[in-house]
């Protein structure tokens, strides 16, 4: 079935409440279908306010902005070292459960209960700050997010053939299985080079 929830014996349970637990499980087809509909709607709204050239430039800016946001969140939030038990629990819910079981097909994607409210908030802030141009910036930001979660899910679930796909997968799996304090980017892996957090550069620096 397209939207069935496959069993996964090693799945880490996050909540005792069954409804809360189900909200943390996201089948890829559900995620992709919902967000494609949203991005189609945003495209319609944005194109009503500007020409295609302006739309394209603002959308590209939004995509680049997403890759930077993805890197920053992964590096400075998802791997934040918390001292309190509450803080450690929060980080585990946000991200470390994925490191505990990277192969879970339903936990490689941000739950819709999180991504939809955050997306709505960013859309609103973008329009508030930039006016109608904010629609196009959010279109790129949202498209970047969908690209990110698609690549991230594929890194753990698909063979990913082809030079670019293999490089993306290797870059991310090294973060999981070699050094968690490096290779933070998933789609915009150039940011690891820019900020010196790529695994090879980290190792080279330590050897100096």
Cα separation, 47 vs 185, in Å, equals 30
pLDDT recorded at residue 107: 93
Mean pLDDT on 114-138: 98
- The answer on pLDDT for 208 being more than 70 is no
Tokens 């789609």 -> residue? 187
Dihedral of the CA atoms 143, 149, 153, 159 (nearest 10)? 40
pLDDT in tens, 64-99: 999 999 999 999 999 999 999 999 999 999 999 999
pLDDT recorded at residue 167: 96
Q: How confident is the model at residue 201 (pLDDT cuts 50, 70, 90)?
A: low
Cα separation, 78 vs 53, in Å, equals 36
Mean pLDDT on 142-152: 98
pLDDT recorded at residue 3: 46
Structure tokens at 88: 């450690």
Q: If DSSP codes are grouped into helix, strand and coil, which group holds residue 192?
A: helix
pLDDT recorded at residue 4: 53
Q: Shortest CA distance to 111 belongs to which of 93, 99, 125? A: 93
Q: How confident is the model at residue 200 (pLDDT cuts 50, 70, 90)?
A: confident
- The answer on pLDDT for 205 being more than 60 is no
Q: Which residues contact 137 (CB under 8 A, 6 or more apart)?
A: 58, 59, 61, 62, 65, 126, 130
pLDDT recorded at residue 7: 61
Please tell me which residue, 207 or 120, carries the higher pLDDT value.
120
Q: Computed over its alpha carbons, how large is the radius of gyration of the chain?
A: 18
């Amino acid at each position: 079935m397209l939207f069935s929830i496959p069993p996964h014996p090693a799945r880490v349970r996050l909540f005792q409440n069954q409804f809360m637990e189900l909200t943390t499980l996201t089948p890829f087809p559900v995620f992709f279908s919902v967000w494609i509909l949203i991005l189609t709607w945003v495209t319609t709204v944005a194109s009503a306010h500007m020409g295609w050239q302006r739309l394209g430039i603002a959308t590209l800016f939004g995509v680049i902005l997403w890759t930077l946001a993805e890197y920053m969140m992964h590096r400075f939030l998802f791997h934040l070292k918390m001292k309190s038990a509450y803080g450690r629990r929060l980080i585990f819910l946000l991200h470390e459960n994925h490191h505990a079981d990277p192969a879970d097909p339903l936990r490689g994607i941000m739950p819709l209960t999180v991504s939809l409210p955050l997306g709505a908030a960013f859309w609103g802030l973008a329009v508030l700050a930039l006016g109608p141009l904010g629609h196009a910036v959010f279109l790129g930001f949202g498209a970047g997010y969908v690209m990110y979660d698609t690549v991230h899910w594929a890194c753990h679930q698909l063979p990913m053939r082809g030079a670019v796909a293999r490089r993306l997968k290797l870059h991310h799996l090294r973060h999981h299985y070699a050094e968690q304090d490096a290779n933070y980017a998933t789609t915009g892996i150039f940011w690891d080079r820019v900020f010196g957090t790529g695994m090879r550069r980290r190792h080279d620096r330590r050897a100096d």
